[in-house]
Structure 1
Amino acid sequence: MTAPHRHPHTDPAAHPEHRHDHRQDGHADDHGHDHPSGLKGWLHEVFVPHSHDAADSIDDALEASGQGIRAVKISLVVLGLTAAAQLAIVAISGSVALLADTIHNFSDALTAIPLWIAFVLGRRAATNRYTYGFGRVEDLAGLFIVAMIALSAIVAGVESVRRLAVPQPLDNLGWVLAAGVIGFAGNEAVAVYRIRVGRRIGSAALLADGVHARADGFTSLAVVLGVIGVWAGFPLADPIVGMLITAAILVLLWGTARDVGRRLLDGVDPDLTQRARHTLERTAGIEHVTDVRLRWTGHRLAIQARVCLDPDMTITMADQATAAAAHDLRHALPAVGDVDITTTAKPAHPAITGR
């Protein structure tokens, strides 16, 4: 048997694992995804507004957290004004049903507070106990928001069934319609804003909060459509539309729970994994990519890779190769945080075996 050639600087026996931990911020290019077009594409965007693992994420972690906190603050103000406007209509119309819906909107607006706390905690440095930092608090907030969306679906469904079984007349229809329009407009504006920022910074939790606002907007839309149905001489329109809206919220719930659950289980878009592998394979000096692992920590993407280098490389050349690989990864993938590349030497000549 012919023994493989090993360079003294990259010999695995002398340097079993040559580790390079690159934590500098870089640039993340956008990348395209295939989407349905036309009406199907619009429906897909409304009901399944998933993040594509943050294709549009920005680079700097502190800036991303700052944008997340700003989005939460603005959302709280808009939803607060929406609920206040509905409360004014309640005072004028005296509708108990509208009062209950207004209280519901106020409570839903406050669900953004755990996400605000998560963004603040995510900025804290790692400790001896939490050595990976506190980015996962954001994913826990996303789990809480998923639970709130589920609660919205349950409340809407139970109320619709109750009104279908025991029809109740709607009073002050004009005021009810006005409150529903205000509720839908305010919640949908917040939903669009949260989803856009969530995609930009790579936050599944903020996306989930946007979906939560959209679910509440659908509930208000059900009120509007119900009033129109009653005016058209079909009093059962209110509970029937409510049941349809409940089904729509369940669709939103499924997509959001899937995305948040994947984050908690360290799932990523397979396209990101393939792009990371191809980027490493194209880096000069890297002969073979043994393993690539990606995971989200909050809204930052951590990358670990094990590669084999050209056996004729020196340690300095190996450092340059891995630095170039980390730089290329930050250009090829979104919201990259830590990049940890472990290198070993590849034999200069393959071993010859025989019987």
Structure 2
Amino acid sequence: MTTHRPPAELHDHPHDHDHGHEHEHGHEHPTGFKGWLHEVFVPHSHDAADSIDDALEASGQGIRAVKISLVVLGLTAVAQLAIVAISGSVALLADTIHNFSDALTAVPLWIAFLLGRRVANDRYTHGYGRAEDLAGLFIVAMIALSAVVAGVESVRRLAEPQPLDNLGWVLAAGIIGFAGNEAVAIYRIRVGRRIGSAALVADGVHARTDGFTSLAVVLGVIGVWAGFPLADPIVGLLITAAILVLLWGTARDVGRRLLDGVDPDLTRQARHALEHLDGTSQASDVRLRWSGHRLAVQARLHLAPGTTVAAADQEAAAAEHAIRHALPAVGTVDLTMTADAPATAGQERT
């Protein structure tokens, strides 16, 4: 039995085909109110089920999403800063500074998208796609920090109640903060899913946690107006719990990427596409992994005995086309072609 690997140009050939098909989900999500809660608290990346196929276009959309969200968050913080100037609230000033600093956590992701566009070299032979996953890990750490800060502050205010001043201004700042952060969260998560970026989805979740913090301020003010001054720290503890739920889902998605985990449905789709080629009797060692928002695919194809090298090359081209047609966001495709010689034959064939 001889292993035949197609020429290098077949491994990373772009195959300029028009992929106008839809990639189907192999799993279902809850619907109704339960589905809405699932969407808010566990907004996973769907493993790029709806992602676009061109790598540069995907990176460009990611960079554009980071730029736009930075502008929106900047305007949100500036609006809060104006309220601080009018009200003179020191607490609001601290929250505004916090929002400014959180907006800057998108910068590492911006850098990661730029690095991901660089070509592979002798040192980084697989390219720089992993920079995006490292940025996702940094964002997870920031979400964890937000949960710790929110929890500690809520417990402190519960133990040492402090009166809230300028309630009207505090309410206005909280509403602005929640609206701006939630708008950015929805946008980042949507684009992250479209381009297959778990890190961008995680950054959207980070914006959502900041929005939840601002929402806690709004609910706390309403509680104080209703004659329940402890509403502020109690709501803060509830928001901390919500952030922890978001943290779990985000850490799971980013962790799976770092451990080369993929949605099993993608593996099954790849195997199905390869095993239904005309000249292929079986596909084995089908392996997928993410590098940033691109899928790398490896597989061994077992061809019919006596298959010629030319026929194997044609089969490799057909197999790569089938992979790119069946899966979203495919980067490199590495195929090993094997032709099994008959048991009675005493010679090797390719």
Return the offset for 1:312: 3.3
What is the number of equivalent residue pairs in this alignment? 338
Counterpart for residue 348 of structure 2 = none
Asked whether the equivalents of residues 22 and 339 of structure 1 are also in contact (C-alpha less than 8 Å), the reply is yes
Distance 1:132 1:119, change over 3 A: same
Structure 2: how far apart are the matches of 1:50 and 1:23?
31
1:222 aligned onto 2:231? no
1:30 aligned onto 2:30? no
CA offsets, 1:300-327, max 9 Å, x none? 0000001101123222221111111111
Structure 1: how far apart are the matches of 2:235 and 2:4?
62
> Quick one: percent identity of the two aligned structures?
79
Structure 1's consecutive aligned runs of 4 or more residues displaced over 6 angstroms after TM superposition are: none
Whichever residue aligns with residue 224 of structure 2, its letter is V
CA offsets, 1:80-103, max 9 Å, x none? 000000000000000011000000
Q: Which runs of 5+ in 2 are unaligned?
A: 346-350
Following superposition of structure 1 onto structure 2, how do residues 198-277 of structure 1 map, counting pairs within 5 Å?
A: 198-277=192-271
Structure 1: how far apart are the matches of 2:81 and 2:282?
64
Structure 2: how far apart are the matches of 1:117 and 1:144?
13
- Say which SS state the counterpart of residue 47 (structure 2) adopts: coil
2:5 corresponds to which of 9, 18, 21: 18
Asked whether the equivalents of residues 287 and 346 of structure 1 are also in contact (C-alpha less than 8 Å), the reply is no
Counterpart for residue 127 of structure 1 = 121
Structure 2: how far apart are the matches of 1:321 and 1:338?
17
Structure 2: how far apart are the matches of 1:349 and 1:49?
53
Structure 2: how far apart are the matches of 1:196 and 1:22?
28
Asked whether the equivalents of residues 306 and 341 of structure 1 are also in contact (C-alpha less than 8 Å), the reply is yes
Following superposition of structure 1 onto structure 2, how do residues 39-78 of structure 1 map, counting pairs within 5 Å?
A: 39-78=33-72
Structure 2: how far apart are the matches of 1:138 and 1:304?
21
Counterpart for residue 288 of structure 1 = 282
Counterpart for residue 173 of structure 1 = 167
Counterpart for residue 6 of structure 1 = none
Return the offset for 1:348: 4.2
Structure 1: how far apart are the matches of 2:23 and 2:154?
43
CA RMSD of aligned residues (A): 1.4
2:182 corresponds to which of 164, 188, 202: 188
Structure 1: how far apart are the matches of 2:325 and 2:22?
5
Counterpart for residue 8 of structure 1 = none
Structure 1: how far apart are the matches of 2:23 and 2:344?
40
Structure 2: how far apart are the matches of 1:220 and 1:306?
53
- Say which SS state the counterpart of residue 163 (structure 1) adopts: helix
1:97 aligned onto 2:106? no
- Say which SS state the counterpart of residue 82 (structure 1) adopts: helix
Structure 2: how far apart are the matches of 1:349 and 1:184?
70
Counterpart for residue 148 of structure 1 = 142
Following superposition of structure 1 onto structure 2, how do residues 308-323 of structure 1 map, counting pairs within 5 Å?
A: 308-323=302-317
Higher relative contact order (CA 8 A, sep 6+): 1
CA offsets, 1:148-175, max 9 Å, x none? 0001001100000001111111010000
Q: Which runs of 5+ in 1 are unaligned?
A: 1-10
- Say which SS state the counterpart of residue 307 (structure 2) adopts: coil
